[in-house]
Amino acid sequence: MKKIATVIGARPQFIKAAPLSLEIANSGQLKEVCIHTGQHFDENMSGVFFRELGLPKPAYQLDIHGGPHGQMTGRMMEAIEAILMQDRPDAVLVYGDTNSTLAGGLVAAKLHIPVVHVEAGLRSFNRKMPEEVNRVLVDHISSLLLCPTSAAIENLTNEGITKGVHQVGDLMYDATLRLTSIAARHSRILEALSLEPKGYGVATLHRAENTDSPDALRKAIAFLVGLSEEVPLVLPLHPRTRKALADAGIEGTGSQLKLIDPVGYLDMHMLLSNASVVATDSGGVQKEAYFHRVPCITLRSETEWVETIDNGWNRLWHQEEYRPRREIQEYGTGDAAKRILELLRDAQL
């Protein structure tokens, strides 16, 4: 039986991993060993997601977080290398574009263990974003590249990567279909925050391009304050963003912009599904907004999820208008996990 080592560390990766990990466990065809780097360590950013998504506790919990990118990635690589040398999996599976993704991919490649990259081929074409650097590097060392869209496959083709490339749909859509009804039954976040369905918006803000510079952070908060004058906004605040606000001395965000602590996955889906608008710099939240058919504003100058723009569900914050609205077919029908399991089972890794 093939052994797959999965490296995860951040909230979006827990969500993507859940449908696939459950599919693997139920199949009896593969063995998965989960390595949690600890990149997101706050209980509301990590532990609660494992419970709500029905994931077993990781086999390895590294508790590595904080510090500059190089330091964090280096510490992760050292710890992951020791695990992989001991366990010798048949492949290492990584998700998305975080430092955990890069660390897992680099260590596996140097140990000559095949790398499987879920969400391969995404490009914002902005190399100032650490996430863009991570995803490009991991794509070029991967043996199996699992793409959510045809645009992702085209990006890889343009970079000369054609072997081992497959379009599989979007795992986050799998997770949304599975858990939205559960959220509706169990979440009480609307009552707790005194919110009426479609009477508020949801915002998230965490990317380095918006938080590492005080000027950029002021610009982003000013945009959200302005939007909150049109519709009250709820902003679950990432711990790093909260610290950046304090360090920059940014206060008085306005009575209509409500800052709250991070929320669990079920509560977040309840907030998103009942919102009238979403404003975010998160790639995952852009898609989740579409899954709930809520218009989105992306707090960036570009996005790797170009189909959300092209089909009128999303716009960049410097754009005034949405394009004509159409359904997005490429995210699949909620069967991405099944398709990935088949590829992992049959691939000659």
Q: Cα separation of 172 and 287, whole Å?
A: 8
Q: Cα separation of 322 and 313, whole Å?
A: 7
DSSP per position, 155-186: HHHHTT--TTEEE---HHHHHHHHHHHHHHHH
Structure tokens at 30: 């593969």
Whether 114 and 349 have beta carbons less than 8 Å apart is answered as yes
DSSP per position, 78-103: HHHHHHHHHH--SEEEEETTSHHHHH
Cβ atoms within 10 Å of 151's Cβ, excluding its own: 18
Residue numbers annotated as active site? 206
Distance of CA 127 to the CA centre of its chain: 18
